[in-house]
Structure 1
């Protein structure tokens, strides 16, 4: 991969809890109850341009129509056509995969300000073809140094109303996305920073058309009274929420990105943008009595971590693959690996892919892996999670024995991977699974609403790039909820995240709040290798459902021998150990009845995830943008 060593102008040096909530009428619900009651994006089909295409002679019926492209030179797949086009332009102008990815990230901040941006963070896997090495880039938000384990509890020691918590300055983590872009560009890029930021500047200044996904997200946040005044001026001009087809013009964001193009990330982390950001977080106390304790010093202290990915092998019936995805503090790598290891000896390829037994086995493996994830994982800079024990062969065999092919379990409890962990034992208190799975609903709220982990899967975005030299980037970027905290930095035009709500509000356990700690994530940018070479990249938004989306796409390719387009289009399910099984709308009623007969509590999820993928087929790339949103894939 080409670097910038010979540049004439160098860039600046870089130096979920189950939160019980209260409402105005005194009813108390959980974070998940709140989300289930306020977000209907998936079930209502407003996630971009959903399309269902006839499956020809496919005996199973309809499938989602993905956006696909083929190219021998390079490929970009993202969740928005404008961002994809900008990435392809970079490749056509001689840029590499990292250059294209950085340009896509800035463009998405403009066209999808509700899902990601410089006010948030994320994770990326980078494959450097020349060095034949892959790197994990961790830009997860961190809790400020002033954070405390009980900071989300009220004066009575109770967990607060989630909407108040989400829009509270205490929910804002120190952002990492811009630092990640800066570091990746310096280490692996070949283009000047300004050249990659300028297209986003132009988009913000000139305006972009609001799509259905963005319009519905604006409407929901208006109904929740989530926006601060700066955000309302942009998204609710004159008191009217922007609607589908309206122009979204963002002059403040254009000026901010223009400053970053000139001065780099230092303007954000040690300059005037960061000072405004910290003042905004603290100033929420004056406007909403919800101020945070982030300081300009916290921003100046931030740096990304360049780590090694979590690596696991899956011997499928069609392909033997090596899966390289993010390590802690995202739980995606370990949990995906455990799901695949649980399923590996079960010979699913001998079964009907859309048969009851196949869905049942995938669900049971997901249930077992998720309760382990919830009980034992956290930021490994602060706790000692059982990473080796989690994937130990004997431990996974022990867990697999709990799967009954003829019935779903009545309940799912975590195992003890520490017993399979080498060396001395140090552990923190496991998370309260029953509390985490509490799906209590408020009086008058429908008990038939989908699981909030499913309903709230519109936030976050994933994109992936590849170039003619063989370099690949898989990047998932987020601000947590749709529009994050709902708070925009006045005069700067970007939204602030609410990532710290991914911590447990209740102190104790591996995912409690601590100063400078990273909250546990489910983000799973992944590059899958075959015979030592990159085979395909994959990732998705969707909260907890990211893990099941990515694991099922990998399973579809490696076990069932599907093309990458078929693997992404294939109907998905979601289960995480609370007894419910969420199934997409394309799964027929007869199959649902069969799963119910096995003891699964069936819920309709609408749609799950929004995977973006690139596969290497011979000398060409095949890109896929998930049909579950207005995604796009385009070749160089």
Structure 2
């Protein structure tokens, strides 16, 4: 019955927000940039599958959203194979080079480097995994000639595309992060590109043609890989060619969470987002958050405080499971969740929230310093998803970590290198400390939700730790409040972390704002410099109605994204 209510509300009825929800019978894509969405749409129209479509979108995003993702980044993909009724994760997250040590971000005086210095440091560059992830996904499930998947990206790089407002805002706020090579392209003659300008990227087109002709090994074992190592060496980096050559993407089992009668498939650690999202949903279910009106101060308060609670645990206990022991069961145990809920007070916002002690609920002990990571992390990523005519689902989140990553562009090859190692806790001895060949913890959460074993919703978002809160709120808006998908994504969101870094979107009603201030919330706009967008996250999602075989898609508003429904499939 609950799904019937949800899908009944997906039909556009003229409301402005609802017009953002599109439908399709034979496929759907949702992506943060329209040009990339079109690339995925064309692949589905040609008879390609969901994996083909997300590969085409990722390669196009390398060109049109190169400040957030690209050849030099990492990512993770959640995939549902309809015929086999099987869900799997393709892990292409970036990994620390073999020369990394726990004191990576300390200077010669044993002082921790400031975040801004760490984030543009060549030693923050991790071994990029996104392209290896695409290669593994394509070799496992690809059905269209690879040339067809990469050619749209090559055309966009060679023929250019029109700079949008998102690019202009990004360059206005973050051009100081760009190195010399990148400034030549994005800030020609000292003038940052503006909305309406055309951006041509011949060096990036060259890299994409090499990948088309020689395969992804050109990045890991060939010419492009050599250029990465040479560029880093010029800047004082520590990555070696062997780090690229030895990198392998992996197919992994999902981590399964639950909210009411719905099952959720997430990437497992070292992706920390899915596990933390599962813990957040567990708390919100026990708080019976749906009893409160969607615009009530109670709803905003509970989401903000519950998010602080789960992030305190994530920042203390979650790390690469190849290196540390994670108390999974204890962190999700009913007794522990009830204990953590006691921290949430309707009379005031807590000034301090620390991690709990899950170890008292399980046998064993931590093999690391139990200390919360209070350092800053980057904010920008991208998310995109596709559902094909057979019901296969691919949800993918990729990133350079900070906007423009490390700021370092590979000489002559036109793409930015990540700064993913800033996702580590810079303090040695902690769960998420830097170390050789270790995955830093990210909050990427490409999600597929199931009802009675059948997928009905896929979504994800960029935004570092705000990803967790953004995905949770859109899930609540659809599942509990039965909102139209476009409305559910457009609905205002709120975020807070253990360090009281408050974020919220314009549109919270005055009554709720007044009550939140009374509870101790400091509602200012100091966070705005952290992102080039006007909203928290950038959720893209697709709803799948298994009964009618209709698909409903929507894209968030901060970036020039698009959801496109497909009804006509080529028979050739």
Same fold (TM over 0.5): yes
- Structure 1 residue aligned with 2:539: 611
In structure 2, the residue matched to 1:301 is 246
Q: Distance in 1 between matches of 2:14 and 2:147?
A: 50
Distance in 2 of aligned mates of 1:162 and 1:415: 26
Could you tell me how far apart the structure 1 residues matched to 2:130 and 2:223 are?
A: 17
Contact 2:354–2:372 (CA under 8 A) maintained in structure 1: no
The match for 2:565 is 635
Partners of 1:557 and 1:102 in 2: how far apart?
28
Among 94, 114, 130, the alignment partner of 2:67 is 114
- Pairing 1:101–2:54 present: yes
Unaligned ranges ≥5, structure 2: 1-11, 528-533, 567-572
The aligned counterpart of 1:329 is 270
CA RMSD for the aligned pairs? Answer: 2.0
Corresponding residue SS for 2:88: strand
- Indicate the SS of the match to 1:155: coil
1:233 aligns with 2:161: no
CA contact (8 A) 1:596 1:602 kept: yes
Q: Deviations over 1:142-162 (max 9, x none)?
A: 110011111211111112243
Q: Deviations over 1:285-344 (max 9, x none)?
A: xxxxxx1110111000001121111111111xxxx2111111111211111111111111
1:424 paired to 2:364? yes
Find 1:179's aligned residue among 125, 132, 142. Answer: 132
In 2, the alpha carbon distance for the partners of 1:529 and 1:93 equals: 28
* 1:351-500 matches, cutoff 5 A: 351-421=292-362, 423-432=363-372, 436=374, 457=379, 459-500=380-421
- Are 2:240 and 1:312 aligned? no
Paired residues of 1:68 and 1:634 also in contact (CA < 8 A)? no
Cα drift, residue 132 of structure 1: 0.7
Could you tell me how far apart the structure 1 residues matched to 2:394 and 2:19 are? Answer: 20
How far apart are the structure 1 equivalents of 2:496 and 2:183?
Answer: 37
Structure 1: segments with no counterpart, 5+ residues: 1-54, 285-290, 438-451
Work out the CA distance in 1 between the residues paired with 2:497 and 2:71: 31
Cα gap change, 1:57 to 1:65, in 2 (>3 Å): closer
Post-superposition Cα deviations, 1:464-496, rounded to whole Å, max 9, x if no partner, equal 100010000110010011111111111111110
Q: Is the 2:17–2:486 contact (alpha carbons within 8 Å) kept by the matching residues of 1?
A: no
Match of 1:274 in 2: 225
CA distance in 2, matches of 1:361, 1:157: 40
* Aligned mate of 2:430, from 497, 504, 509: 509
Conserved 8 A contact 2:271-2:443: yes
For 1:635 and 1:579, locate their aligned partners in 2 and report how far apart those are by CA, in whole Å. 40
Aligned twin of 1:12: none
Distance across 1 between alignment mates of 2:410 and 2:286: 52
CA distance in 1, matches of 2:306, 2:115: 31
* 4+ long deviations beyond 4 Å: 55-58, 63-66
Give the whole-Å Cα distance in 1 for the aligned partners of 2:65 and 2:484. Answer: 29
How far is the alpha carbon of 1:240 from its aligned partner?
A: 2.5
State the alpha-carbon separation in 1 of the partners of residues 423 and 319 from structure 2.
Answer: 11
Whether the 8 Å contact between 2:97 and 2:437 is mirrored in structure 1 is yes
Instruction: Tell me by how many angstroms 1:169 deviates.
Output: 1.3
Within the candidate set 570, 588, 603, 2:491 is matched to 570
Residue 522 in 1 paired to residue 443 in 2? yes
Query: How far apart in 2 are the matches of 1:308 and 1:147?
Result: 28
Counterparts of residues 183-198 of structure 1 (less than 5 Å): 183-198=136-151
Q: State how many pairs are aligned.
A: 546
